[in-house]
Homo-oligomer: A and B are copies of this chain.
Amino acid sequence: MTTATALTGVIPPVCTPLTPDFEVDTGSLTRLVDHLLDGGVDGLFVLGSSSEVAFLPDGHRAIVLDTVLGHVGGQVPVLAGVIDMTTPRVLEHVRAAVKAGVDGIVATAPFYTRTHPVEIDGHFRTIAGQAGLPLYAYDLPVSVHSKLGADLLLGLAADGVLAGVKDSSGDEAGLREVILGRRERSDIGSFSVLTGSELTVDSALWMGADGVVPGLGNVDPHGYTRLFRSASEGDWEAARTEQERLFRLFGLVRAGGARMGAGSSAMGAFKAALHLRGIIDHPTTALPQIPLDGDETGRVGAYLAAAGLL
């Protein structure tokens, strides 16, 4: 992958398996990578939100980078999240990722601080200037509490700052504005539009998106690659049918109900599913997330069974 070739296809955000004492479980992590590669994915995104990056100390982040890059060995491109509050802290993660040998980096706008579009613009320019690697903007308002506008993204694309965007905003009209703007502006070269909305992948591809970064793709990578291949071949009916099956499967993220945060419930369910499928050794999630109990795990299993995954 270089800046000259836009990233396309299914690039799951790789979960980070943990041991019961909250260390990175590298054995499980390589098995998970094999599971994803076996699923036919087109790339891997480590240290994203579904990787519990917000919960990983720098040492754990380094282990993840080394483990995955060492195991993948260039079979597919590996992107790394450099998630932190502001430019100087993000740059530290960029240095670590570049040194580890990733193929691209993924950064959000600043958060925790009260920011401004001009500052967000400068943030991405500084990061790109120091990374020397394709930079992808990560639009995740539920975590970052600001939205990346189409004008901002397209301006940065035209200046060669951004190689693409992962849009997890759920704002499909905004996604389309970026897709159409990219098509109509002659000053934009290669720019990948990837959706992080795993429940509307068929329609995002239909609008012209290049790929998807689905958290649920950890559990069922084969489903997402089938979806993407069907769409690529113009078999939209098949793509929709696959998406609808995955939509139903996605119900597992609510296993934890109201006794925990939505993040705990979703992460707990993804890991419970991977554990039930025999891919990772422990369903442990990082603190202070609440673990699923037996009933809740049973509910996850029922979703897997209904989707033909058990």
Stretch of A28-36, A69-77, A167-175, A294-302 with 4 or more beta carbons under 8 angstroms from chain B: A167-175
CB proximity to B under 8 Å, residues A172-191 = 172-173, 176-177, 180
A2 within 8 A of B: no
The docked-state distance in angstroms from the alpha carbon of A165 to that of B273 is 34
Q: Which residue of B lies closest to A206 (CB)?
A: B203
Per the CB 8 Å criterion, the residue count for chain A at the interface is: 62
Main secondary structure on A side of the interface with B: helix
Query: Are A85 and B287 neighbours in the complex by a CB distance under 8 Å?
Result: no
A32-56, CB under 8 A of B: which get 1 and which 0?
A: 0000000000000000000000111
CB proximity to B under 8 Å, residues A150-202 = 170-173, 176-177, 180, 197, 199-200, 202
Query: Are A114 and B290 neighbours in the complex by a CB distance under 8 Å?
Result: no
A-B contact pairs, 8 of them (CB 8 A): A55-B89, A57-B88, A57-B89, A116-B264, A145-B145, A170-B170, A176-B199, A203-B203
Query: Are A86 and B288 neighbours in the complex by a CB distance under 8 Å?
Result: yes
The 3 closest A-B pairs by CB, nearest first: A203-B203, A116-B261, A123-B288
Residues of chain B lying within 8 A (CB to CB) of residue A119: 260-261, 264, 288-290
Q: Which residue of B lies closest to A89 (CB)?
A: B57
Residues of chain B lying within 8 A (CB to CB) of residue A244: 180
The docked-state distance in angstroms from the alpha carbon of A161 to that of B177 is 37
Query: Are B113 and A143 neighbours in the complex by a CB distance under 8 Å?
Result: yes
Query: Are A287 and B57 neighbours in the complex by a CB distance under 8 Å?
Result: no
A278-297, CB under 8 A of B: which get 1 and which 0?
A: 00000000111110000000
User: Nearest-CB distance from A274 to chain B (Å)?
Assistant: 19
Contact A86 to B55, CB < 8 A, known contacts A173-B199, A288-B126: yes
